[in-house]
Amino acid sequence: MAKPFSPLAAVSVAGLIALADLVTKAAIVQLLAYGQQIDLFPLLNIVHAINQGAAFGLLATAGGWQRYLFIVVAVLASILIVRMIRKPETGSAERIALAMILGGAVGNLVDRTARMGVVDWIDVHVGAHHWPAFNIADIGITVGAAVIVLHTLFGDRAAPSVSDKTR
């Protein structure tokens, strides 16, 4: 039987995601002028963009107050996620997913606190149609949330019930 994913391992994963996010954002700020774009592949560019809103630019043009709202939400969410990670009944898949969300939240929190917004730099597109630019923190949050949804929908079906074990 596999050893459960510990709370300390989860916090370490979160720290690695936040670190990778912040290092890549710093490199983009250092190497590219704001708005500059580097074409990598037919469907992928690197771009220096600032998102003052939430995911996909939600509330980006709200006038500045949203920055403080997003900071407060990120702090409260991070506290809640750490508490969830520490619960003994939290399973390994949930812990890993929560760690990914925590790492992304912390990465974007640090960036949003230091700047007026979050540095986004991954630009996926098909021809002239671009997905909103994103970063490693956004990937952690999105993948972590997807794992939680999938685990909620399908995770318990794979585990045998107590009555199955007694047969």
Query: Which residues, in sequence order, are bridge partners of residue 123?
Result: 45
Residue 37 to residue 26: CA distance in whole angstroms:
16
The answer to whether 156 is a known catalytic residue is no
The answer to whether 120 is a known catalytic residue is yes
CA-wise closest residue to 28 among 100, 163, 152, 123:
123
Query: Which residues, in sequence order, are bridge partners of residue 129?
Result: 126
Catalytic residue among 21, 111, 120, 123: 120
**Cβ–Cβ under 8 Å, residues 107 and 18:** yes
Residue 8 to residue 58: CA distance in whole angstroms:
33
Residue 41 to residue 20: CA distance in whole angstroms:
22
Catalytic residue among 21, 111, 123, 138: 138
Catalytic residues: 120, 138
